[in-house]
Copies of this chain bind each other. A is one copy, B any other.
Amino acid sequence: MLEHLFSPESVAIVGASQKPGKVGHDILANLVKGGFAGKIIPINPAGGTMMGLPASTNLSSYDGDLDQVIVAVPKSAVVATVKDAIAKKAKSIIMITAGFKESGAAGLALENEVIGLCKRGGARLLGPNCLGLLNTKNGLNSSFAGDLPLPGNIAIMSQSGALCTSILDLAAGRHLGLSKLVSIGNKADINENDLLTYFAQDQETKVIVGYLENIVSGDTFIKVADATCSKKPVVILKSGTSQAGQKAAASHTGVLAGADTAYGAAFKRSGVIRADTFEALFDYATALSMQPLPKGDRVLIITNAGGPGTMAADAVEHAGMTVAELDTNTAAALRGKLPEAASVGNPVDVLGDAPPERYAEALKAAQDDASVDAIIVILTPQAMTRPTEAARAITGAINGSKPVLASFMGGKEVLPGRQELSAAGLPDYESPERAVAALKVMYEYATWLRRPPRIVTRFRVNRRRAVRIITRSQRNNILQMNEVKAKKILDAYGFNVLPGRLVTSADEAVELSRRIGFPVAMKIVSPDIIHKSDMGGVKLNLASAQQIRDGFDLMMMRIVQQVPHARIEGIYMEKMGEPGLEVILGMSRDAQFGPMLMFGLGGIFVEVMKDVTFHLAPITQDEAIQMLKSTRSYDILQGRRGHKGVDITAIAVGLQRISQLTTDFPQITELDINPFIVGDFGTEPIVADARITLAAADKKFVL
């Protein structure tokens, strides 16, 4: 574990300096100022005494072992320093020095050399190119990030060192307490996964906050984050969310699945709360660290002014939560305690002249009312208002049974009241809307915590047949699988594929159609033609031998006209299925997080409205149904709006089967079933068309 990183007994700082402006000066000064009780050993070639501490000229000349070595020396001296540190049995090395991976190939080589040394020497490495770390419990400030903040229960890790300085400064301004802060730099060794694991069991930490620009290992992250979030909330700001460039992809799913979608899916799966802005990061973390989670979404608003109360109610409704109604008994009892003009609806309006006690009465009533899950308290500094006393009355009335969030709206006059609230553990926001936004993520996190156990169904499938088809395709370097082969694989995985076959002459076509029965569909099969219908390569509902002959000849003629050099394998003939609702099921493999499943209603819903949802495989039945429910077009599946309802479970099973297939075969990089035709209840949905893309055979995979 990382105990030695946060609680060493001795810390040496190599490159310690007495010259202000030098990094080695700031770190030493911070260590000394922080009040760390262990040994601090400045290392400087000049030796002597530095800031009152005896310095060593180098690591080797120090007498004894060292727990932690902070390296703030030029790049050229790094390797020797690390070797010395390991010789001193250092358990953690904090590499402040920059110029590694981030600066090109030579830097990367150096970084790898240092990692190798640390691995062999049994030392863990923080950085390089980082600001260090802080631990408020033991006063350890092994950083040049800034002064030690107040002790608190929020732990922070940041991939941006600069952001650490902003966060410390913000914490200082807001009197916000932190447990730990870690600048993770290049993450050569210690990364977000290590820190999540450590913070998960850290007694001082109640909420974990992270700023990340990438993730080291998607698989591990999901496992670690899931385990961590089951214990305490994790709020992450992931930057780089804009779509810098559209990537090339062969499938609809591939086109629609951006990298940010994958992060979204991974965070959702593992319970991570995502913050979209720097302010939201702390708005959420503060609420989560101070207040209990709500048991439901019914929010009561207490206010001394109508306007802001309405603003809060608007925000609650826009957030998809419920504006609570007080129980009639509660309302009646409260009515007796408030002046006649007060409102005991929602918002509860304690009126502009409300003395502190009125807030307390309303708050007590709301806390005792079983039809309220969370409370927002709003105060405006009117002529008769005593904000500071109101803050005291409010914090005094809180019993901790439900989350209470405040918005004392104003600046100068409400400031002391706001500080009272914060000091007493009541999160306070400059506007009601921000309080509601924080409450919303608390509610979502609470819902995630209550999620049913994840049981992934394994269907009986013909895996060996799929292996055969895939292996052969890869061997022949046919990575863009045609409909015929894709359907064979899907058939092996239990999908319903209509009877059909590849034919190469009109006679053969007629012969086949007589066997499978009219009407039939014909589709051109060629590795050179992707958009079949645009090229006249699809004919549907052919109902007689004559239509089939005509269709075959026309299709061949037109294709040759339009794509003269197309390699034509033949025409795929298939029995026409019953009409039904067309949906699309797909998968796009994310480099970090693996198979990402997609669902959407077909055609315009996907192509124009982009009304699709994503979920990481493996998927459970619950999660698959949730995917359907989160589309805007869910009403159609349910049979509203003049549409017949369809068998939702059948679609969910389709997604689960794709989940199994693409988890079984890491070689499948993209997959579209488009359309997947869903008929009446009791009928099996049909794979009407499909496309599978494989990775090149030389890519490693395990079967």
Contacts and interface: CB of A to CB of B under 8 A. Distances in A.
A413 interface: yes
A464 interface: no
A313 interface: yes
Interface string A203-214: 000000001010
B213 A169 contact: no
Interface string A309-331: 01101111110000100000000
Contact of A279 (B21, B167, B434): B434
A613 interface: no
A54 to B, nearest CB: 25
A22 to B, nearest CB: 9
B609 A162 contact: no
Copies held by the complex: 2
B163 A305 contact: yes
B318 A242 contact: yes
Classify chain A's interface size. Answer: 35 or more
Most chain B CB neighbours (cut-off 10 Å) among A160, A243, A633: A160
Interface stretch (A40-48, A378-386, A539-547): A378-386
A239 B641 contact: no
A447 B255 CA distance: 32
Given A409-B278, A604-B641, A165 B383 contact: yes
Contacts of A242: 313-314, 316-318, 323
A411 interface: yes
A666 B159 CA distance: 62
B430 A279 contact: yes
B380 A165 contact: yes
Contacts of A276: 433
Interface in A352-384: 352, 380-384
B146 A240 contact: no
A605 to B, nearest CB: 8
A167 B431 CA distance: 11
B211 A307 contact: yes
Contacts of A642: 534, 607
A162 B279 contact: no
A668 interface: no
Contacts of A241: 314, 318
A64 interface: no
Interface stretch (A170-178, A394-402, A420-428, A511-519): A170-178
A78 to B, nearest CB: 18
Given A159-B307, A160-B306, A431-B278, A165 B314 contact: no
A211 B310 CA distance: 12
A166 B381 contact: yes
A169 B414 contact: yes
A72 to B, nearest CB: 11
Interface string A19-36: 001010010000000000
A550 interface: no
A410 interface: yes
A382 B183 CA distance: 13
A601 to B, nearest CB: 9
Nearest to A533: B642
A491 to B, nearest CB: 28
Interface in A231-246: 237, 239-243
Contacts of A167: 410
A304 interface: yes
A146 B633 contact: no
A23 B163 contact: no
Contacts of A308: 160, 162-163, 166, 278
Contacts of A635: 608
Contacts of A534: 642
A160 B146 CA distance: 43
A542 to B, nearest CB: 22
B412 A173 contact: yes
Interface string A192-234: 0000000000000000000101000000000000000000000
Contacts of A383: 23, 26, 144, 165
Nearest to A276: B433
Nearest to A380: B162
A171 B411 contact: yes
Interface in A284-317: 304-308, 310-311, 313-317
Contacts of A51: none
A412 to B, nearest CB: 4
A307 B160 contact: yes
A608 B243 CA distance: 28
A608 B433 CA distance: 29
Nearest to A310: B239
Given A162-B304, A163-B305, A213-B310, 20 more contacts: A21-B384, A161-B352, A166-B380, A166-B381, A169-B409, A169-B412, A170-B411, A171-B411, A242-B313, A242-B323, A277-B315, A278-B409, A278-B432, A534-B642, A604-B641, A608-B632, A608-B635, A608-B641, A609-B609, A609-B633
10 contacts: A159-B307, A162-B305, A165-B385, A170-B409, A171-B411, A173-B415, A213-B306, A239-B311, A604-B636, A609-B632
